[in-house]
Amino acid sequence: MPRPRIFTSMDEAIADFPDNSSLMIPGFGPGQPINLMAALWRQGATGITSISNGVGFAAGAEELRGLGDLVMAGRVKKVIAAFTASTRPSRAGTAEELIRSGAVQAELAPQGTLAERIRAGGAGIPAFFTPAGVGTETAIGKEHRDFDGRTHVMEHALFADFAFIRAWKADTAGNLIYRRAARNFNPIMAMAARTTIVEVEQPIVEAGTLDPDQIHTPGIYVHRLIQIPEGGVLHVDRATARAILQVRYHDPVPEGQE
Amino acid sequence: MTEKQPLNRDQMAAVLAQRLADGSIVNLGIGIPTGVSNFLRPEQEIVLTSENGVIGYGRLAGAGEEDPDVVNASATQSVTLNPGAAIVHHADSFALIRRGLVDVTCLGAYEVAPDGSFANWKTTNEEWNNLGGIGGAMDLASCSKQIFLALEHTTRDGEPRLVKKCALPVTAPAGVTLVVTNIAVVVVRDGKFILEEHAPGYSAEEIQAVTGAPLEISPNFRQVSV
């Protein structure tokens, strides 16, 4: 297994992303590969199939362009998500009208089922049974089977051409550590793609520096690494929806609290 | 006659908090339920879990306390971590949910029926078209031991949200045991709505008048205490 290739430009890291590719996009608030997504926006790929928790909204700023923007620009063929529409009648979701009109295909899944489909994809399991969604519209047309007196529905694994990942720390072997709730879908998506590309908050350290017991994603799943450069986006301020930029490097945790 | 004082969202969250048994593992959904974390007392020893894999979080973070990487189910509200907190990834978070470790899930909803079914993922009853906002609600609803709901008693147009049968597509066909609204606290048991508490100034008759299914009045019918 060759070491992952380390990039210094987000645009170069995703330059060969072909049209009609499938893409895993993690994030639940924190943990989104914000800079790789903005690079994909600039790169121009179309016909994308996205796998993510939600479809999100179109961003106001260039550096925050994400899935919502790609959908609105007609560059997404299909979305697979736990939220394809707003739950507030007063605020329609980005993709709603495009999905309703058939311009964008959609596959709506319960969030735990979505997570397990991704985990299964990364674990070499083609399908599994879950009780979630039994007796609801999401289970219509799917195989049902009783186990221990309870009805379950069969769900299929998900695997993608690419995963864009946001990590806190990485080493040159590609080993990754996530921070707090920014972990969310990242570890399972990193395992469920042919090409896994990671943006890292902190400087990438030499292999052997990170404690093997503390690794969340082993480097054998990781193909490309890039530290978020100075001026790249670290977080989005929730009150103002403005980007919080990478200064030199970012270490929000005081010494001794890791 | 007491002046009518419907509960606000914080008071509804406080009522939910009162109803959680000590030592429970509890999941709080987006909306009114995420506010519950501010009304729990440490001696209740309740462990809050969130779909994003945060186990053991506490109250909402105050000014200057926010950590951009620590949020609850809303994905936008910063929360504090309690001593003993742990973080897992999304699949492991739902593993603990699916295995049945969650004692109570608190969710928002549009409709609830006496059979314990409820609807909260789609705002219209148009045919299945892969449009909706399910989030983790179906996994939680089908695997938690109990479901508590928090919702306004009626729609903006005054139509009841407590109904004989959900008109909207259901999130789960059963499982709701408690409904907290802005005017009432209703236990759901044996296919019946049992009215246990009322907001200040609301009589059982007035609550029944805006409820779409029969209410059985609890012998212990009383005013909420928040």
pLDDT tens digits along A117-176 = 999 999 999 999 999 999 999 999 999 999 999 999 999 999 999 999 999 999 999 999
* B119 within a domain of the structure (yes/no): yes
pLDDT tens per residue, range B197-214: 999 999 999 999 999 999
Average pLDDT, chain A: 93
**Domain at B30, CATH number:** 3.40.1080.10
Cβ(B91)–Cβ(A115) under 8 Å?
Answer: yes
The residues facing B180 across adjacent strands are B150, B185
| Packing angle, helices B90-99 and A111-123, rounded to 10 | 120
Within-domain flag for B1: no
Neighbours of B78 (CB within 10 A): 21
Residues written for chain B? 226
CB-nearest to A115 from B78, B90, B129 is B90
Tokens describing residue A34: 């914000």
Give B79's contacts in chain A (Cβ within 8 Å). Answer: none
Contact between B97 and B78 under an 8 Å Cβ cutoff? The reply is no
Could you list the residue range(s) of the whole structural domain that residue B159 is in? 9-223
Q: Is residue B36 part of a domain?
A: yes
Stretches in chain B below the pLDDT threshold 50:
none
Whether A254 has a pLDDT exceeding 70, the answer reads no
Q: Is A39 helix (H, G, I), strand (E, B) or coil?
A: helix
Find which of B71, B90, B101 to mutate to test the A interface (most A CBs within 10 Å of its CB): B90
pLDDT digits (tens, 9 = 90+) for A79-105: 999 999 877 766 666 689 999 999 999
Contacts for B81-84: CB closer than 8 Å, 24+ residues apart: B81/B54, B81/B56, B81/B57, B82/B56, B82/B57, B82/B58, B84/B56
| C-alpha dihedral, A117 to A123 to A127 to A131, nearest 10° | -60
Q: Which H/E stretch holds residue A253?
A: none
Q: Which residues does B164 contact at the CB level (< 8 Å), separation at least 6?
A: B113, B114, B212, B213
How close, in Å, is residue B185 to chain A by CA atoms?
Answer: 24
Residue A59: per-residue pLDDT: 83
pLDDT at res. A250: 52
Cβ separation of A107 and B68 shorter than 8 Å? Answer: no
Residue A252 has pLDDT above 60, yes or no: no
Q: Is B2 part of any domain? A: no
**Cα separation of A219 and A171, whole Å?**
8
**Residues A22-30, mean pLDDT to the nearest whole number:** 97
Residue A111: list chain B partners with CB under 8 A. 51, 90, 94, 134-136, 139
Q: Is the pLDDT of residue A109 over 50?
A: yes
B3 in a structural domain: no
Chain B residue whose CA is closest to A117: B91
Residues of A in contact with B176 (CB under 8 A): none
Count how many domains chain B has: 1
CATH code of the domain made up of A5-245: 3.40.1080.10
**A223: three-class secondary structure by DSSP:** coil
Query: What are the structure tokens assigned to B54, written together?
Result: 């945060």
Told to judge if B66 belongs to the known catalytic residues of this protein, a careful annotator would answer no
Does B130 contact A181 at a Cβ distance shorter than 8 Å? no
- Check CB contact under 8 Å for B69 and A252: yes
Q: Do B136 and A86 touch (CB under 8 A)?
A: no
Q: Which of B50, B69, B98 best tests the A interface by mutation, with the highest count of A CBs <10 A?
A: B69
